[in-house]
Structure 1
């Protein structure tokens, strides 16, 4: 419950807010037109795609640093015998991913749990169930 002065101020606020909202809403039968966009067209703003121009051109310092980096890179690459050879990996011909168990309920594990893991897992669930039972009557 609000104090009388707070209730009066809230009422005044909502009255002013309602008047402003009513003035902003379109009148019945009045067409709603979206505001006109005066910004650039999306097609004229470069997005660093191949073939598009940069928004800001590189300075001479940036070009020199870039050239120095690539020259050093190429020299280092040449000193170690060129680019590394990439081995082509043959396509997967094994079982489908849907047939490989992923620890889902009902699937068999790829590696069976040890007795220690089963004991720890059971101890966790026992403790969890005791905590749930202890708080079952408590209202949150």
Structure 2
């Protein structure tokens, strides 16, 4: 039963990411509780290459911290289902790349630098997992020796 709940949480979180990725306006979603999608068959792929803006406002940095946090949680959720830090990193990174690409088809701004922010959250989660596993292993070995 615990595994099923973990799988449901993982799928649910991935769906939340997908909705926030593809929704026309996050502000409209949050304020009016309205989900609208705009699809284009001719995305502006060159937008992926746009650099970070010169003016890094607080709003911009807060959004990018959100990118990192969302993928941090996704990576931890993956770990609860599949306890392999390497595979968690790989799957989360592939999903992050897919969401950035999908944004172009939903007339949103998909950017490679956003993938970098997503990756920071993924890396932080994997680092926490690896260090946590190592710490727990050391503590378990210390308890056995005493």
Higher relative contact order (CA 8 A, sep 6+): 2
TM-score normalised over the length of structure 1: 0.23
TM-score normalised over the length of structure 2: 0.22
